[in-house]
Amino acid sequence: EGTITAMLAMLKKARERDRHLKEGGDWRKPELQGTYLGSRADGYRGITLGLIGLGRIGSRVATLLRPWKMRILATDPYVPDARFAEHGVERVDLDTLLRESDVVSLHVVLTRETRHMIGLEQLALMTPTAILINTSRGSCVQEPALVEALLRGQIAGAALDVFEEEPLPRDSPLRNLGDKVLLSPHMVSSNVGSGLGPGIRWATESVLHALRGEVPDNVYNKE
């Protein structure tokens, strides 16, 4: 939900419209036009969303957006074809996803494979109107490369909930990019009723399952 919120805020220019009106700006300025996400009867095909990672969170994003009737691509070497089919997602390689997506969203864990997986070379493949969303781990994106891409107009914007250094340093150039970036203090999963309370309960239940010789329901590799 947080990923989709960030995407809508960027593409629909929610912040810009709100600020413009509160500051007494002109009515309905063309530069405040948003992007329509889904396909339409007039032949508009809708945007293409690219998901890097189709695990629990990536597949949830795909499920929520499926009724919007947009094209959804994904890349994930650890997920079988059946999951792609289940969520109506087209399987592609990373380069294809970067080239063809209007929105690229990361949903990966931080490993040696994913550290700095998005750098200058990858950002150069994206279109000038594309948006990058990272709600996974900050170190999956090379921040200096992202800042450079945004300043050069290689991509249109970025929505970030995570950063290479947290808390985000006061002198981070990301703070000075205006509406090109939407920043959040690593709180995408911080909602009422979430946090340590449910986590402690889930962890306790998993320990009890294990003590009984059972496989906890949150084990990924059950075999």
Q: Which residues are catalytic, by number?
A: 137, 166, 186
Edge to edge, the sheet with strand 90-91 lists: 90-91, 71-75, 48-52, 103-106, 131-134, 157-160, 181-183
Residue recorded with tokens 């309905």: 28
Count of beta carbons in the 10 Å neighbourhood of residue 31: 7
Of the candidates 160, 155, 156, 154, the residue with the CA atom closest to the CA atom of residue 175: 160
